[in-house]
Amino acid sequence: MDITLYHSPGACSTASFISLLEAGADFEVEIVNLKTDDHLSAEYSALNPKQKVPYLVCDAKGLSETVAIQYWIAETYPEARLLPADRWDRATAISHMGWFGSGIHPHITRHFKTAKFCGVANAFPDIKEKAKAMLFQQLSIVDEVLSDRIWFFDHYTACDSYFFWVFDRALREGFALENFKNCYSHNDRMRERASVQKVLAHKAV
Ligand SMILES: N[C@@H](CCC(=O)N[C@@H](CS)C(=O)NCC(=O)O)C(=O)O
């Protein structure tokens, strides 16, 4: 298999990068630097018209959306057990990842890219405050899910890769998240993993 992950350091493609390493996949990383608008280039837009990362190409076929990429990695490398074996738990893992992608990540985006969502500058503080309140409400639920647990399931899964990025991005946004103690502990445990250390050390070109 010829696999390439299109990734921007610090972006949500971090979660796919971590899972590919956890799976022991042989893959290339192509940097699409969002800070220099590489994702808007004609070349990248032709590849992925959504103009987003992550994007995964395997043997000339392309896949977008973190949930689908995580699912594909888990199915392609079953020995890595990146999804739980039990059918209900497997569906719950997809539910968690759908939640991270559509129920949590967008609040962070609205907070740091407010001008993309609203043209009325004096409304920005209100939008940011509401985005923060919605983010905190969702994180309190994750904190409950993670109580007395090391990982989201009884072993490491793709949910852990994905939530690492979500919580870490919220930390980098400068939110005071110390009340989410279980999320914090999860972040600490994730930082001990070789996969996470390798991704965090991977520099933009
Ligand atoms: N629904 C997509 C969201 C992907 C996404 O929003 N990626 C961001 C980086 S975290 C991006 O590429 N943003 C480019 C932009 O629109 O500025 C997924 O879950 O993969």
Q: Where are the domains of the chain?
A: 3-80+195-201, 87-193
Q: Which atom of ligand 1 is nearest to the CA of 67?
A: 19
Q: Which atom of ligand 1 is nearest to the CA of 32?
A: 12
Q: Closest Cα to atom 5, ligand 1: which residue? A: 52
**CA-to-CA distance for 41 and 158, rounded, in angstroms?**
30
**CA-to-CA distance for 93 and 77, rounded, in angstroms?**
16
- Bridge partners of 3, per DSSP, are 58
**CA-to-CA distance for 7 and 44, rounded, in angstroms?**
12
Q: Closest Cα to atom 1, ligand 1: which residue? A: 65
Q: Under a CB-based contact definition with an 8 Å cutoff, are residues 115 and 124 in contact?
A: yes
Q: What is the pLDDT of residues 135-146, one digit of tens each?
A: 999 999 999 999
Task: Kindly report the average pLDDT of the chain as a whole number.
Answer: 96
Q: What is the mean pLDDT of residues 122-141?
A: 97
Mutate to test the pocket of ligand 1, among 13, 50, 52 (most ligand atoms within 8 A of CB): 52
For residue 163, count other CB atoms closer than 10 A to its CB.
27
Architecture of the domain defined by 3-80+195-201: 3-Layer(aba) Sandwich (3.40)
Q: Is the pLDDT confidence value at 126 over 60?
A: yes
Provide the CATH number for the domain formed by 87-193 in this structure.
1.20.1050.10
**CA-to-CA distance for 28 and 205, rounded, in angstroms?**
14
Q: Is the pLDDT confidence value at 205 over 50?
A: no
Between the CA of 202 and the centroid of ligand 1 the distance, in Å, is 19
Q: Provide, rounded to the nearest whole percent, the portion of the chain with pLDDT above 90.
A: 99
Sorting pLDDT into bands at 50, 70 and 90, what band is 110? very high
pLDDT value for 120? 93
